[in-house]
Chains A and B, each alone.
Chain A
Amino acid sequence: MERIKIGEVSLELPTAGAGPPLLFLHGGDYFAQHREFFDRLARYWRVVVPRHPGFGNSERPDGFRTVHDLAYLYLDLLERQNLGKVTLVGSSFGGWIALEICVRCLERIDRLVLIDSVGVKFGGREERDVADIYALPGEEALRVTFFDPGRAAPDYARLDDDEAIAVARDRQATTLYGWRPYMHNPGLRQWLHRVRLPTLVIWGENDGIVTPDYGEKLCRSLPNARFELIAKAGHYPQIERPDEVADAIDRFARAEVRS
């Protein structure tokens, strides 16, 4: 596994493919289920997938605790890796990181793709924008996450120890960054006008964690974004419909190149 050291942080940095650069920021869970999607992306892109600090085998220094730290870390990574101008793709929790990056600095980013992103609060104080998956019974949590849990959800009993620890570390780190306020930054919405980039907002039609309605609100809050729904897919459409999501990203990038 490729690794990179940025300041104090040592990250796993899997890469694949040889095309234009695509930086993928993963969500809080189900990383191991992304293989098919990454293979499909790698046909057209050079795919770079940092494992966030505290996730998988990436280290998290003591003082590294917030989504803001993640945003600055990946701005450093973009400078250090000299990737050229990237297509930035963020799924779920990774979409929140991508937004935090884009409100800060767009210098090395060509375009943005958000897949069922969290991070922004639209509803009132007694409304929950993001389903509290930690308070749901296990089976119901799977039902709101996937269109077809029977196909998409892993069989945890079959994991080896290292794989199971990676999943546990992913969940622990997601909690550290996203527990309170729950999966959003209360101040982020007021800065979304700064995301002056061609943006594609992709949403699983059956996402029960952040609904398509939330996705459309997010899309309308961004200066230059369009919305695309993926049928028969939940919160991670790239796991349930890898070809459709990769095609949508390819089409978006090529249309931008033509225009």
Chain B
Amino acid sequence: MKVWHFSEMAYHPAWPALRDSYRVVIPSRLYDPKIGADLYHRYLDEWALCDELGINIMTNEHHATATCADSVCTIPMAILARETKKVRLLALGMPIGNRNDPIRVAEEYSMLDVISRGRIEMGFVKGVPFEISPANTNPADLMGRFWEAHDLILKAMTSHDGPFNWEGTHFHYRSVNVWPRPWQQPHPPVWMPVGSPGSAKEAAERGMTIGVLNTGWVLTPPIFEAYRKRAAEVGRPMTPQRLAYMALIGVGNTRAEGWRRADQILGYSRTSGIVAPQFMNPPGYASAAQSAQALKMSGAGGFRAGRIQSRDGRNIDPRTMTVADAIDAGLCFAGTPDDVFDQLRAFYDHVGGFGHLLMMGQGGLLDHDETVANLSLFSREVLPRLADLTV
């Protein structure tokens, strides 16, 4: 199993000033660039350390938010492509339905792939509903743009005989000719985050690796199962490497130390869903049937913040979730190295196996020294045992 360290590069110093929304409408006067610079550098140091620890690197992006100051997922990768030498670099990733220029995406990924000498993995993401407003893209045809951009980017990265023409529904170019061509042939591996069995099927049809985030013990098995089933139906080779699961991980020399780290990382889960409700379901983002149900449930305001389910079906409010709740829900593995491995193995068996662990090893207020200790202990005591996990 491959392990990837992920952090949202949160700008947490602004959090105490925020109330009903951590996203979209918050003024950037709450961001102090001098503190922000220090934070960027420490997060980059933690990723650079991963090269020595044998942990791969994952970035993401969000916009207009203090929960994730990584607004361009390829910028930290551009730094790390040179600063690291061994581990792989996953950007999960580029919101290609919200980016206006897919060719620019192909160029960024190709350059990164060459500079890193073939270590890039390309994520294409739909984006959460509250990314629509910062991008001002049309939510009613987001997936049409997503798939057209996906097709165009892959064709642009795999065409090496001069310009080609693209006059689609959403994107228009008369001379697509991307330089450089990527290092990996025919192109770097392609990933997509997935939150439902329906999108798992779409990814399976194309052989993409799916990253399943924040779905936990109850919702993950049907997503993985839908992928395996659809891959078999369309004759795509199925390996655990097609499936990835994200978990918050706090490991310590004692259980108390591991839980304390996990509790700080959970600052991510407790804040990332706090969004003014009018941005939670822009018309057309969800299906008419889903929006109709939301309308009946909560009136014109639309969706409420997501709920997380415990193993026995209780709703857990992410804003007040404890470490015990998060472990029960399968969102978090925490404690001693033995605890973490045992929880991970139980989850792995429960969902039928997966090939990538997306480890949120830093989140919320967990500081640099604690993050280094967390990642180092995981690398030393847990990572070597992951070879024991097989389906």
Contact = CB atoms under 8 A, between A and B. Distances in A.
Given A153-B300, A157-B299, A172-B140, A141 B278 contact: yes
B291 A171 contact: yes
Given A138-B301, A156-B300, A159-B296, A169 B139 contact: no
Contact of A165 (B278, B292, B299, B301): B292
Contact of A164 (B140, B277, B293, B302): B293
21 contacts: A134-B282, A134-B283, A137-B278, A138-B278, A138-B300, A138-B301, A141-B278, A142-B300, A157-B297, A164-B295, A167-B292, A168-B289, A168-B291, A168-B295, A169-B288, A171-B283, A172-B283, A172-B291, A176-B138, A179-B138, A180-B138
Most B CB contacts (10 A, CB to CB) among A63, A159, A168, A169 go to: A168
Interface string B290-330: 01110111011110000000000000000000000000000
Contacts of A137: 276-278, 301
Interface string A174-188: 111001100000000
Contacts of B140: 172-173, 175-176, 179
Given A141-B278, A164-B295, A165-B292, A176 B284 contact: yes
Nearest to B299: A156
A135 interface: yes
A139 B302 CA distance: 12
A136 B292 contact: no
B279 interface: yes
B141 interface: yes
B137 interface: yes
A125 to B, nearest CB: 14
B277 A167 contact: no
Contacts of B136: 179-180
A161 interface: yes
B133 interface: yes
A138 B283 CA distance: 13
Interface of B: 25, 133, 136-141, 169, 276-279, 282-284, 288-289, 291-293, 295-297, 299-302
Interface string A24-64: 00000000000000000000000000000000000000110
Contacts of B295: 156, 159, 164, 167-168
Contacts of A156: 295-296, 299-300
A175 B139 contact: yes
Contacts of B133: 134-135
Contacts of A134: 133, 278, 282-283
A156 B293 CA distance: 10
Nearest to A165: B292
A164 B295 CA distance: 7
Nearest to B133: A135
B329 to A, nearest CB: 29
Interface size of A as a range: 20 to 34
Given A156-B295, A168-B295, A136 B300 contact: no
Nearest to B294: A168
Most B CB contacts (10 A, CB to CB) among A136, A161, A167 go to: A167
Interface of A: 62-63, 65, 134-139, 141-142, 153, 156-157, 159, 161, 164-165, 167-169, 171-176, 179-180
A interface majority secondary structure:
helix
Most A CB contacts (10 A, CB to CB) among B25, B282, B283, B291 go to: B283
Nearest to B279: A135
Contact of B283 (A62, A141, A165, A174): A174
A248 to B, nearest CB: 29
B136 to A, nearest CB: 6
A165 B292 CA distance: 5
Top 8 A-B residue pairs of the complex, sorted by shortest distance between their CB atoms: A138-B301, A164-B292, A171-B283, A176-B140, A168-B291, A172-B284, A168-B288, A175-B283
B174 to A, nearest CB: 21
A172 B137 CA distance: 14
A206 B103 CA distance: 47
B302 to A, nearest CB: 7
Given A138-B278, A141-B278, A172 B288 contact: yes
A108 to B, nearest CB: 31
A31 to B, nearest CB: 14
A141 B278 CA distance: 10
A172 B143 CA distance: 14
A134 B291 CA distance: 14
Given A164-B293, A164-B296, A138 B277 contact: yes
A137 B277 CA distance: 7
Contacts of A142: 300
A63 B137 CA distance: 18
B283 A180 contact: no
B292 A168 contact: yes
Contacts of A173: 140
Contacts of B292: 161, 164-165, 167-168
Contacts of A62: 169
Contacts of A157: 296-297, 299
Given A138-B278, A159-B296, 5 more contacts: A159-B295, A165-B289, A168-B291, A171-B284, A173-B140
Nearest to A160: B296
A14 B270 CA distance: 49
A136 B276 CA distance: 9
B173 to A, nearest CB: 19
Nearest to A137: B278
A22 B257 CA distance: 75
A142 B282 CA distance: 16
Most A CB contacts (10 A, CB to CB) among B136, B141, B284, B302 go to: B284
A153 B300 CA distance: 10
A161 B293 CA distance: 8
